[in-house]
A and B are shown apart, each in its own frame.
Chain A
Amino acid sequence: MSDVMIAARGLTKRYGPHRALDNASFEVNKGEIVGFLGPNGAGKSTTMKILTCYIAPSEGTATIKGADIWDDPVGARAAIGYLPESTPLYAEMLVAEYLEFMGEMRGLQKDALRKAIKKVVEECNLGGFYAQEIRTLSKGQKQRVGLAQALIHEPPLLILDEPMSGLDPNQAVEIRDLIRTLGKERTVILSTHNLAEVQVTCQRVLIISKGKIVADDTPQALTSRGRNRYTVLIKKPEKGYRDASARDVFAKVKGVDTIRAIEAEEGAVKLEILPSGKDDLRAELFKAAVDGGLTLLELRQHAQNLEQTFRDLTLTAAEAGEDEDEDEEDEHEAKPVAKASAKDEDEDDDEPASKSTDDKEKE
């Protein structure tokens, strides 16, 4: 058997005119821990639901350990241990009853079932609340029961949808360590929008945005490959200022890809400029500001990290998209990132190019 655990080809899922997933193709090899990273609504859960044969793709197909999701859904499901988002469990059951039920659904019986339950109880450390009703458990304990359920039939592939969301930091560390241990002998796919999580847990990251896979690499490579990012602070003229005209000034610079207005202090405008290449654009940007008659208060270059790569990739794709229905999302993403970018502003060789230029004087 080949080393490919999942082969997805051209997966597309349409909900009316909206494409939740747009021609996504990827492969996951045996033994990898792969992180699906993307903003809410990017298509992570949709991909997982398709792989587990809960929903069917509008186009495309995938094979799980050789079993096609169209031709052999039961075979594909048998190879997967799945933990859906928000860990749905039967609240009225005891942990013991629940594991027994899930084990039986997986075709385990009698001795094999008893052994399997004993094994997952140890692996996921459920001993302390094995005889409790599920409704009485904490979120972290429920998460462990959910994982135990996914592991009970020793599946070669684990699919975990946001396994660490909603957990407190201690629980998150606990679950993360568990996933890493499990990943030693299994293939694991997990989705998240927590970047730190991916950096520590995963060997490979697939970044999904607007239903498209926009990056597929190791966390290290994604961190280092990034383009630099610039912010410029311009003084707002007394009157007659238009956002668009300031943008036009910088858009003319060769190598500028996208420009976004971000939060700024009173009387000033802050623009974020993403270049398309790796060249240093500071000199050109400065020149453009002077030529365009803008009063430049600040010009900074920021080094890239995974967070910015993520934002860069997901926001660029979002802006390029036709439909605007995910504006909301961009705002969600922008908030935490804005904070983070404030932190690392001092890292790089800042160039506080605060020179006031006046058109008329020059002429």
Chain B
Amino acid sequence: MRNTLTIASRQFRSYFNGPVAYIVICLVMIVIGIFFWPAFFLSGRASVRQMFTLIAYCVAFAGPALTMGLLAEEKRSGTLELLITMPVREAEVIIGKFLAALGLWAVLLACTLPVPFSVSTLGNLDWGPVWSGYLGIFLMGGAVLAIGLSFSSFTDNQLVAFFLSCFVSFVLVLVIGWVLPFLGGAVANVADFISFSSHIEALARGVIDSRDVIYFLSITGFALMVAFRALESRRWS
């Protein structure tokens, strides 16, 4: 446990020693600034649901950018060998890395808090859906980050990790939602179940359904397991 936290804290600090954390946070803020406020004033309703939709779009790109280097870069530079030969278990390395990315994701979300506070000064904001929306977007971010981490564990090339995880999270977050109206029958049900956007939808409305929460948690758990296995597989190859 202590090893996990040591790894997480080193990784978290190293985010802020490089440009990636700042770039990602700034870009998300800019996207929200450009697209949220015009829509907000047009609709004239005191709601931040639109912001969650925007963050959901952003995470499809931002998540992979945050996770691409986690293991790939350590493999490329060889530091992974030193890290793994510390008296730690592989699982601790994976969880530590994941917690660091999740921590940064939490920081990013905290940076968006001024938006609901501003909205609440302009109208009568219902805070229930805001917090449940934050919970949902936090969990969804966790799932995307875990997927990104697992791709980072397959390769020693950051760009490969970025594009593959970008593709997968793009499909899960956006593409399925777009094609859903054209599907029918069982396929539509499956697609609806897999799509991240349909699970975030209810949470953003203020409905905390355990199915949605469990869905994101299981995706996260599965992706971390894959990353763990991939890291472990170097022993046998």
Contact = CB atoms under 8 A, between A and B. Distances in A.
B82 interface: yes
Given A55-B235, A56-B236, A84-B82, A92 B17 contact: yes
Interface in B48-103: 77-89
B6 interface: yes
Interface class of chain B by DSSP: helix
A89 B77 CA distance: 8
Contact of B88 (A15, A74, A93): A74
Nearest to A53: B85
B14 A107 contact: no
B18 interface: yes
Interface in A59-108: 74-75, 77-78, 80, 82, 84-86, 88-93, 97, 101-102, 104-107
Contact of A90 (B3, B6, B14, B237): B14
A55 B234 contact: yes
Contacts of A74: 87-89
A84 B81 contact: yes
B45 interface: no
B87 A88 contact: no
A26 interface: no
Nearest to A78: B87
A54 B84 contact: yes
Interface residues of A, number: 30
A88 B86 contact: no
Contacts of B234: 54-55
A106 B7 CA distance: 12
Given A93-B14, A101-B10, A88 B82 contact: yes
B77 to A, nearest CB: 5
A149 B78 CA distance: 15
B18 A106 contact: no
A163 to B, nearest CB: 14
A228 interface: no
Contacts of B81: 49, 54, 84, 88
A117 B13 CA distance: 20
Nearest to A92: B17
Contacts of A101: 6, 10
Nearest to A51: B85
Contact of B14 (A52, A92, A149): A92
Contacts of A86: 78
Given A55-B235, A77-B86, A105 B78 contact: no
Interface string B203-237: 00000000000000000000000000000001111
Nearest to B14: A92
7 contacts: A75-B87, A91-B77, A93-B14, A97-B13, A101-B10, A102-B86, A106-B86
Interface of A: 15, 49, 52-56, 74-75, 77-78, 80, 82, 84-86, 88-93, 97, 101-102, 104-107, 149
Nearest 5 pairs of A and B residues by beta carbon: A88-B78, A78-B87, A56-B235, A52-B85, A88-B79
